Amino acid sequence: MKKCLIVIFAIVLFFEYYLKNFLNYQDLDCIIKAVTGLGAIGTAWGVYWKWNDEKTRQLYERRLQEVYAPFMKLLIRQETYRKDAKLPSIVKVLEDRNMSPFFRQTTSVTDKKTGDIISIEKFSIINEGFFAILDKNNLSKTSLLVVLEKYRLIWELAEKAEQALEEKFNGYEDKHADDPKLRCAINSSEEGKELMRLREKRHSLEKEIFDEIVNGYNECIKILKMDKQKINFDEENFWENY
């Protein structure tokens, strides 16, 4: 404490000496005004920064609550089912996210031995509600908005292509038709090729959407400093933490 007082006293003496010998009161007045002006500018910048920070936080809070959290709930439900459900051997392809990024409303397989149609429609996340999340607002990242709108268009085009195929080939039932000649005719037709192209594009977009949702959710959590734990379904120990 004593040392601090000595230092302060020394600074006061130095300032007094400097003022008497090197500055006049007019110079001091200019310095005081300059310091006051800089202080006002600094205060204004601080107020603006705080206001901008609060606006940004409100944006990310809404983005998380209204866009990424609803999407993430769907993904967690799907990935939990993918991990824990005992899938019939005929739909084991659904265990691989690269093969089936999303469980679609039309996901079904025909068991050729029994003729039974195995469907997981009740676990589907791609439906009207999925797109409605984005339709409610414009708060998502541009990258997610673009890829989802592209996906919606490709989805509609694929449905039209399926209808065209059904009109051309009576009794068309996807590529699982039992008749090899019919299946070959379907695959080699212009309508069949177009449907295959659209399905491949749809599959590619599904992988992009999946990554965009996960990355967008993690970004919101990071900026809002809500949780250090990120969502990463590919981590081996991810599910062990929950």
Alpha carbon 155 to chain centroid, angstroms? 20
**pLDDT for res 74:** 86
Higher per-residue pLDDT: 1 or 225? 225
Q: What is the pLDDT of residues 14-65, one digit of tens each?
A: 666 666 665 566 665 666 667 677 777 777 777 667 766 788 888 899 999 9
Q: Is 203 helix (H, G, I), strand (E, B) or coil?
A: helix
Res 219 pLDDT > 90: yes
In 39-129 the beta strands, taken as DSSP E runs, fall at 108-110, 117-119
Q: What is the pLDDT of residues 152-176, one digit of tens each?
A: 899 899 888 888 888 887 756 654 5
Q: What is the pLDDT of residues 70-86, one digit of tens each?
A: 999 888 888 887 777 66
**CB of 65 within 8 A of CB of 113?**
no
- On the CB side of 155, CA atoms within 13 Å amount to 17
As a whole number, mean pLDDT of residues 237-241 equals 70
**pLDDT for res 227:** 79
What is the DSSP code string of 143-166?
HHHHHHHHHHHHHHHHHHHHHHHH
Handedness of CA 60, 65, 71, 73 (dihedral sign): positive
